[in-house]
Amino acid sequence: MFGRNDSVDTLSRNLDHARVKRDALASDVTALTAQIAEIEARLSEEKNRRECDRVLGEIEAIKKRIKQTTSALAPLIGKLCEATERAAAIVPEARALDSFLLSVATEVDSVIDPLLRELDRRADEVRLGRAALDDLPCLANEAPTELPSGDLPLERAAAGMRQTI
């Protein structure tokens, strides 16, 4: 009889030990689950921050390219206007090209500032977290958009001037 009680006591102790071990493991699982959730939240925040930085960088690159191109365009139009004024002394029809060039310069100036303001507004939306980043295109890896050759108003006007000369 004495041997039976020892095995019952041993089994009872083993059961208690297993329950304590189970409870400790359950506590560890709960703690690990909380840590995983915290790490996932930090990872998500970091991904969002990086995506915001990427979009803001692309917007700034677009603005810089627009400003550089616009600043390069103005002197070119000025030089073309000077050349067409000189040409007008020989070919009066050149004044039409001069007038066209001035209207192109005016039109470019009238649309650039609103475009830059809209880009700034979109950048502010990204900074404030109001913009859906998934809706914004990824432009960093795209080649610069080139204007189609032979279909520009300036080229058509120049071609018309060459025909009249």
pLDDT per residue of the chain (165 residues) written in tens, 0 to 9: 455 678 999 999 999 999 999 999 999 999 999 999 999 999 999 999 999 999 999 999 999 999 999 999 989 998 998 999 999 899 998 889 988 998 998 999 899 999 999 999 999 999 998 877 666 666 555 544 444 444 454 455 445 544 544
pLDDT at position 165 is 42
Contact 67, 108 (CB under 8 A): no
pLDDT at position 16 is 96
pLDDT at position 98 is 84
pLDDT at position 141 is 52
pLDDT at position 27 is 96
Q: Which of 113, 5, 17, 128 is CA-nearest to residue 66?
A: 113
pLDDT at position 34 is 97
Q: What's the whole-model pTM score?
A: 0.62
Q: Which helix (H) or strand (E) holds 71?
A: helix 2-88
pLDDT at position 134 is 62
pLDDT at position 146 is 46
pLDDT at position 136 is 61
First-residue to last-residue Cα distance in the chain:
127
Token pair of 99 as six digits: 């007038």
